[in-house]
Amino acid sequence: MTQYSLVGKDMKRVDAIAKATGQALFTADLALPRMLYGKALRSPYPHARILGIDTSRAVKLPGVKAVVTGHDSSDEKWGVFRYTQDQRFLSIDKVRYIGEEIAAVAAVDEDTASEALGLIKVEYEELPAIFSVDDALKPDAPIIHENYQGNINIHVKIDVGDVEKGFKESYLVREDTFDAPEESYFQAEPYAVVAQFDNAGNLEIWMPNGGPHLKAKPLANVFKMPLNKVRVRKITIGGAFGGRSEISPADVMCALLARKSQRPVKIVYTREENTIATRQAHGMKATIRTGVDREGRVQARDVTCYMDGGAYSSTGPIATSVPFLCMEQAYRMENVRYNGYRVFTNKPIRGMYRCHGRAFACGVDLQIDMLGEELGIDPVTMRLRNARQPGDYTPTKSYVGSCGMTETIVKSAEAARWKERWGKLPPFHGIGIGCNSVQTGFPMGIRGGSEAFIKFNEDGGITVISGVVDNGQGNETMLVQIAAEELGLKPEDVQLISADTEVTPSDPGSYSMVSTFVGGNAVRLAAQDAKQKLFVLAAKALEAKPEDLIAKDRKIMVKGEPERSLSLTRAVRLGLSKGQSISGQGAYWPKVDSRREWVENPVGQLSEAFSFGTTIVEVGVDPETGQVKVLEAWAAQDVGYALNPKIIESQFEGGLAMGGQGGMLTEYHILDRGRVLNPTQLEYKLPLACDMPKINNIIVETFDPNGPYGAKEAGMSIAMSAAQAYSAAICNAIGTYIHEFPITPDKILKAIEEKSKREGK
């Protein structure tokens, strides 16, 4: 194995000091000269027709500098795909959920802006509303969008092999239904936007985002401006988890107010607004039918999944597909059918999520346990017999080049002493395992690839220019590590300019778990390009061939003869003296099937690489209160190659907290006729550090042939497999299965009581 100087080793994050000391600036921290403060007027109704909006009194209030409604905007609507564009950024004719944006005000301070909102008169005609998928699908249900019949937003249908034959040939078949309500991203940073226009009409805007280029294009569409007049600026971001990639009404409102007032404007959402007016995770009901042979190998699987999409399409086709794709990547199956329905309701909008699909993912894995129990096969063996292997094709025809699924299962089971624990724990103690897979990117059209530039400064240091955004997962450190490794520099020699649409080239952002694979590859290629130019210059001075040179310790030296060397500074200056500035350019486009489409053609290479994860947890359950105490956890993931082990381990731990500790024990929304009753951290229970168990991190490396140094996605597979492991461990502890998530004390007590009744106790 190649020995590297920086990659593969723990390295302090480049943003660690700024964040630890509070010096890092978030959007809400920005203060520009003459800046105004914006507020949004929101619908009090879940479904209503807008008959009229009167802003005249608000406009006259002293201190108010601008009031905007949908009539101040273009007719451009939002949806990730052209065929799902159905959301206006400011409604003019109809509202479809409580909290939908109607108007916005900019004033000299927040109090004045809030007062002005109360002066805007909106006349509504209330309409019948729908608050559940079951009600939305009734024949006589009110139609939320006229162009979507039956309130079905998206239907993804996948049918591979001969499912009915597979069931007939199965030794054992069972069918179960699993259910989970909506949950929230609850990023530490509430949504905030600052926007201003300059004298030339250029828009400059800051906001939390998962990909600045993915924000700039829809903004350009809304304002009918060329892309080079829309600048999405880099800013520190307090978490994303899938919820910062889409354009937000706040972005448009803030920019409209800035244009109308000709002054900078800042909008900062309250915690309540951050819950109801940004994306949430889908509520979901999944009916899963699985047939296995005598050895527990899956012969056929048929899944029907209904997802509560809320009021608008958002990422509908992707969100409806991803739960299935994660399953087909993780487990072998030749005969599989999937019908995924995303359904409109009069509730806030749902989007992508870090641990998307609790009902689906936990349902699949719990059913594996159920089948294994009937067959007398333990959960680890059941998963090993069905685990995806390298060289496989998924049912929808994606080739899996690197795969450590089996290794993650084996290593986590060994570390957890599974054989010693399984079936031998004290009463109301349980152990469970979960397995999952995540794609490292997927087809994103012309914005699917990444480009990077590197320029050498005359002192031998470099500037890296990349569109990759860091939402807190350590992407900036990853780029610095790669560039420094390739060019033989120290991290402090690297200056990074990233995530600014005016100066950085195109990049898909952190969306779809692709930053390391695509953005990291682009930076590596740019560094190699610059290095080769340096080697040509240095070869003459060192009387050697360019191919015999290496870059290390801020020098260019001859392989095997370190005494024959030239400092990078001298090599750069040598080039400058000859009129040659040293720079490099690199671009990487993932090798995926561009013909693949989420609904019309869900077949072909989805992603160039896939990650695989296994989580095992041990729990204790109090049968008197239903309280769960998680005693210990083991998290193993195939990451390809660990570029920075400590950062990867932190991603494992964050994933386990979100998917398992929060996602399976405490996190869910309570709604009453479309109104979120627990929008803040007082009522929505996020896990704290004191709630977390001991976590044992296990990094598995398979060295993907196409990833930078063999690296691929890290962290997402743990978030999803953690949810599965938590649910399995709790069910093992109480000796019966629960089909509704999260598994709260009331559900545990009910399950224990029902089990006692069945057993006549």
pLDDT for the residue 620: 98
Claim to verify: residue 672 and residue 561 sit in the same structural domain: no
Q: Which two tokens stand for residue 144?
A: 């939320």
Average of per-residue pLDDT across 93-101: 97
Claim to verify: residue 499 and residue 429 sit in the same structural domain: no
Angle at 142 between CA 140 and CA 145, to 5 degrees: 130
Higher pLDDT pick, 627 / 511: 627
User: 547 burial class (0-12, 13-18, 19+ CB within 10 angstroms)?
Assistant: exposed
Claim to verify: residue 105 and residue 197 sit in the same structural domain: yes
pLDDT for the residue 180: 96
- Kindly tell me if the per-residue pLDDT of 128 is higher than 90: yes
Which run of H or E residues covers position 648? helix 645-655
pLDDT for the residue 332: 98
Claim to verify: residue 434 and residue 450 sit in the same structural domain: no
Give domain status of residue 133, yes or no. no
Give domain status of residue 339, yes or no. no
Domain count, the chain: 3
Q: Which of 386, 434, 469 shows the shortest CA–CA distance to 663?
A: 434
Give domain status of residue 301, yes or no. no
Quick one: what percent of the chain has pLDDT higher than 90? Answer: 94
* Residue 68 backbone dihedrals phi, psi, to 5 degrees: -130, 150
Claim to verify: residue 115 and residue 203 sit in the same structural domain: yes
pLDDT for the residue 463: 98
pLDDT for the residue 678: 95
pLDDT for the residue 437: 97
User: 78 burial class (0-12, 13-18, 19+ CB within 10 angstroms)?
Assistant: buried
Last residue of a domain, one of 588, 615, 639: 588
Last residue of a domain, one of 252, 276, 300: 276
389 strand-pairing partners: none
| 8 A C-beta contact, residue 418 and residue 616 | yes
| Pairing outcome for strands 583-588 and 121-126 | unpaired
Average of per-residue pLDDT across 492-507: 95
pLDDT for the residue 760: 85
Task: Give me the half-sphere count of Cα atoms (radius 13 Å) on the Cβ side of residue 250.
Answer: 28
Measured distance CA(477)–CA(483) in Å, rounded? 10
Last residue of a domain, one of 224, 256, 276: 276
pLDDT for the residue 593: 95
Give domain status of residue 754, yes or no. yes
Q: Which two tokens stand for residue 34?
A: 């003459």
Claim to verify: residue 391 and residue 512 sit in the same structural domain: no
pLDDT tens digits, 422-466: 999 999 999 999 999 999 988 887 788 999 999 999 999 999 999
Measured distance CA(194)–CA(220) in Å, rounded? 16
Quick one: what percent of the chain has pLDDT higher than 70? Answer: 100
Claim to verify: residue 542 and residue 622 sit in the same structural domain: no
- Domain of residue 620, CATH code: 3.30.365.10
The amino acid sitting at 129 is: A
Claim to verify: residue 581 and residue 689 sit in the same structural domain: no
Measured distance CA(732)–CA(738) in Å, rounded? 10
Claim to verify: residue 622 and residue 668 sit in the same structural domain: yes
Q: Which two tokens stand for residue 377?
A: 């096969």
Measured distance CA(506)–CA(511) in Å, rounded? 13
Give domain status of residue 299, yes or no. no
Average of per-residue pLDDT across 733-758: 97
Rg (C-alpha) for the chain, rounded Å, is 27
DSSP for residue 164: H
pLDDT tens digits, 664-712: 999 999 999 999 999 998 999 999 999 999 999 999 999 999 999 999 9
Full residue range of the structural domain in which residue 115 is found: 31-127+188-239+244-276
Claim to verify: residue 424 and residue 479 sit in the same structural domain: no
Claim to verify: residue 259 and residue 118 sit in the same structural domain: yes
For tokens 């939402």, name the residue: 471
Q: Which of 705, 603, 717 shows the shortest CA–CA distance to 660?
A: 717
Angle at 728 between CA 669 and CA 399, to 5 degrees: 90
The strands making up 283-292's β-sheet, listed across from edge to edge, are: 152-160, 336-344, 298-310, 283-292, 172-180
Give domain status of residue 139, yes or no. no
pTM: 0.96
pLDDT for the residue 60: 98
* Residue 409 backbone dihedrals phi, psi, to 5 degrees: -65, -50
pLDDT for the residue 2: 75
Measured distance CA(122)–CA(238) in Å, rounded? 35
Across the chain, what does the average pLDDT equal?
Answer: 96
Give domain status of residue 566, yes or no. yes
pLDDT for the residue 761: 73
Q: Which of 517, 27, 23, 481 shows the shortest CA–CA distance to 244?
A: 27
pLDDT tens digits, 688-700: 999 999 999 999 9
162: Cβ contacts below 8 Å, ≥ 6 apart: 335
The amino acid sitting at 123 is: E
pLDDT for the residue 1: 61
- Kindly tell me if the per-residue pLDDT of 240 is higher than 90: no
pLDDT tens digits, 157-183: 999 999 999 999 999 999 999 999 999
Question: Rounded to whole angstroms, what are the CA distances from 190 to 88, 208, 237, 252, 323?
Answer: 22, 9, 10, 17, 27
Q: Which of 551, 699, 729, 740 shows the shortest CA–CA distance to 611?
A: 699
pLDDT for the residue 498: 96
In this structure, what is the dihedral angle of CA atoms 592, 595, 598, 604, given to the nearest 10 degrees?
-50
pLDDT for the residue 357: 85
Give domain status of residue 315, yes or no. no
Claim to verify: residue 583 and residue 679 sit in the same structural domain: no
